Amino acid sequence: MLEKSDKQTIKDALAASAKAISEDTELNVNFGIENLRQSSLPEPLQPVKNFNDLRAKSDQVALINKYSSNNLFTHRDAKVNEIIKDLDLTRVELLGSKKFLGVSKNLEFLFQKNINSLDANEDSSSVAISHWLRSELLGQELGRPDSKKFEDLYEKLISFQEKYLGQLEESLESSLDFSKVIFSLLKDLEISVDEQQPEEENDEKNEEENEDESSEEENQEEEEETDSEDGQSDEQDTSIEDEEMDIEEGEVDADEDSWIENRSKLEELLKKVGEQEYKVYTKDFDEEVKAEELCDSEELARLRGRLDQLMESSKNAIAKLANRLQRLLLAQQNRSWEFDKEEGQLDPSKLHKIIVDPLTPLSFKIEKDSEFKDTLVSILVDSSGSMRGRSMSTAAICADIIGSTLDRCNIKTEILGFTTKHWKGGDSRKLWLEQGKIPNPGRLNDLRHIIFKPADQAWRRGRKNLGLMLREGLLKENVDGEALMWAQNRLNKRPEQRKILMVISDGAPVDDSTLSTNSTNYLDTHLRDVIKKVETASETELIAIGIGHDVTRYYKKAVTIHRAEELGGAMLDQLTSLFET
What is the average per-residue pLDDT within 353-369?
A: 74
Q: Which is more confident, 371 or 23? A: 23
Q: Which is more confident, 270 or 20? A: 20
Q: Which is more confident, 6 or 148? A: 148
Q: Where does the pLDDT of residue 319 fall: very low under 50, low under 70, confident under 90, or very high at 90 and above? A: low
Give me the pLDDT at residue 472, please: 77
Q: Where does the pLDDT of residue 429 fall: very low under 50, low under 70, confident under 90, or very high at 90 and above? A: very high
Q: Where does the pLDDT of residue 368 fall: very low under 50, low under 70, confident under 90, or very high at 90 and above? A: low
CB 468 within 8 A of CB 448: no
Give me the pLDDT at residue 428, please: 95
Query: Which of the residue ranges 185-199, 390-404, 426-440, 498-512 would you say has the lowest mean pLDDT?
Result: 185-199
**pLDDT of 75-97, one tens digit each?**
888 888 889 988 999 999 999 88
Quote helix, strand, coil % in the chain, to nearest 5. Answer: 60, 15, 30
**pLDDT of 5-39, one tens digit each?**
567 777 777 888 888 888 887 788 888 777 787 77
CB 106 within 8 A of CB 61: no
Q: Where does the pLDDT of residue 226 fall: very low under 50, low under 70, confident under 90, or very high at 90 and above? A: very low
Which of 54, 62, 53 is closest to 25 using CA atoms?
A: 62
Q: Which is more confident, 416 or 312? A: 416
Give me the pLDDT at residue 369, please: 55
Q: Angle formed by the axes of helices 567-580 and 297-333, to 10°?
A: 40
How far apart CA 290 and CA 414 sit, in angstroms, is: 12
Say which amino acid occupies 394.
T
Q: Where does the pLDDT of residue 420 fall: very low under 50, low under 70, confident under 90, or very high at 90 and above? A: very high
DSSP annotation of 60: H
Query: Which of the residue ranges 126-130, 290-294, 338-342, 519-523 would you say has the lowest mean pLDDT?
Result: 338-342
What is the average per-residue pLDDT within 301-325?
A: 77
How far apart CA 105 and CA 188 sit, in angstroms, is: 31
**pLDDT of 230-247, one tens digit each?**
444 343 333 323 333 333
Q: Where does the pLDDT of residue 481 fall: very low under 50, low under 70, confident under 90, or very high at 90 and above? A: very high
Give me the pLDDT at residue 494, please: 92
Q: Which is more confident, 101 or 381? A: 381
> Beta strand 29-32 with 40-42: parallel, antiparallel or unpaired?
parallel
Query: Which of the residue ranges 103-107, 266-270, 452-456 would you say has the lowest mean pLDDT?
Result: 266-270
Angle, alpha carbons 305-399-452 (nearest 5°): 75
Q: Is the pLDDT confidence value at 259 over 50?
A: no
Q: Is the pLDDT confidence value at 202 over 70?
A: no
415 membership: H or E segment, kind and range: strand 412-420
Q: Which is more confident, 434 or 56? A: 434
Task: Using the Cα atoms of residue 433, residue 435, residue 436 and residue 438 in order, give the sign of their dihedral.
Answer: negative
**pLDDT of 157-179, one tens digit each?**
988 888 999 999 999 999 899 99
560 membership: H or E segment, kind and range: strand 558-561
Q: Is the pLDDT confidence value at 364 over 60?
A: yes
Which value, to the nearest 10 degrees, does the dihedral of the CA atoms of residues 429, 434, 436, 440 take? -10
CB 523 within 8 A of CB 514: yes
What is the average per-residue pLDDT within 266-281?
A: 63
Give me the pLDDT at residue 252, please: 42
Looking at the DSSP bridge assignments, the partners of residue 268 are none
Q: Is the pLDDT confidence value at 309 over 70?
A: yes
> Beta strand 558-561 with 447-453: parallel, antiparallel or unpaired?
unpaired
**What are the b/e assignments for 310-336, b being 16+ CB within 10 Å?**
bbeebbeebeebbeebbeebeeeeeee
Give me the pLDDT at residue 199, please: 43
What is the average per-residue pLDDT within 335-347?
A: 71
Q: Is the pLDDT confidence value at 265 over 60?
A: no
Percentage of the chain lying above the pLDDT 70 cut: 77
Give me the pLDDT at residue 256, please: 42
* Other beta carbons within 10 Å of 211: 10
CB 571 within 8 A of CB 502: yes
Looking at the DSSP bridge assignments, the partners of residue 402 are none
Q: Where does the pLDDT of residue 402 fall: very low under 50, low under 70, confident under 90, or very high at 90 and above? A: confident
Cα dist. 441→15, 16, 91, 444 in Å? 21, 20, 28, 7
Under DSSP, is residue 283 helix (H, G, I), strand (E, B) or coil? coil
Cα dist. 97→78, 259, 408 in Å? 29, 19, 47
Under DSSP, is residue 138 helix (H, G, I), strand (E, B) or coil? helix
Query: Which of the residue ranges 295-309, 358-372, 488-502 would you say has the lowest mean pLDDT?
Result: 358-372
How far apart CA 341 and CA 435 sit, in angstroms, is: 76
Q: Where does the pLDDT of residue 405 fall: very low under 50, low under 70, confident under 90, or very high at 90 and above? A: confident
Angle, alpha carbons 515-519-523 (nearest 5°): 60
Q: What is the DSSP string of 184-244?
A: HHHHHTTS--SPPPPHHHHHHHHHHHHHHHHHHHHHHHHHHHHHHHHHHHHGGGS-HHHHH
Query: Which of the residue ranges 17-21, 56-60, 325-329, 345-349 would you say has the lowest mean pLDDT?
Result: 325-329
**What are the b/e assignments for 388-400, b being 16+ CB within 10 Å?**
beebbbbbbbbbb
CB 17 within 8 A of CB 11: no
Q: Where does the pLDDT of residue 534 fall: very low under 50, low under 70, confident under 90, or very high at 90 and above? A: very high
Could you tell me if residue 248 is left (phi over 0), alpha (psi between -120 and 50 degrees) or otherwise beta? beta
Q: Is the pLDDT confidence value at 302 over 80?
A: yes
Cα dist. 217→29, 210, 451, 470, 500 in Å? 16, 10, 54, 66, 53
CB 27 within 8 A of CB 41: no
Q: What average pLDDT is seen over the chain?
A: 78
Give me the pLDDT at residue 145, please: 77
Q: Angle formed by the axes of helices 297-333 and 390-408, to 10°?
A: 50
What is the average per-residue pLDDT within 214-226?
A: 48
Q: Which is more confident, 580 or 217? A: 580
Give me the pLDDT at residue 580, please: 66
Q: pTM for this one?
A: 0.49
Give me the pLDDT at residue 117, please: 73
Highest mean pLDDT (candidates 31-45, 56-70, 478-492): 478-492
Q: In what order do the strands lie in the sheet with 40-42?
A: 40-42, 29-32, 250-252
Which of 362, 404, 429, 448 is closest to 568 using CA atoms?
A: 404
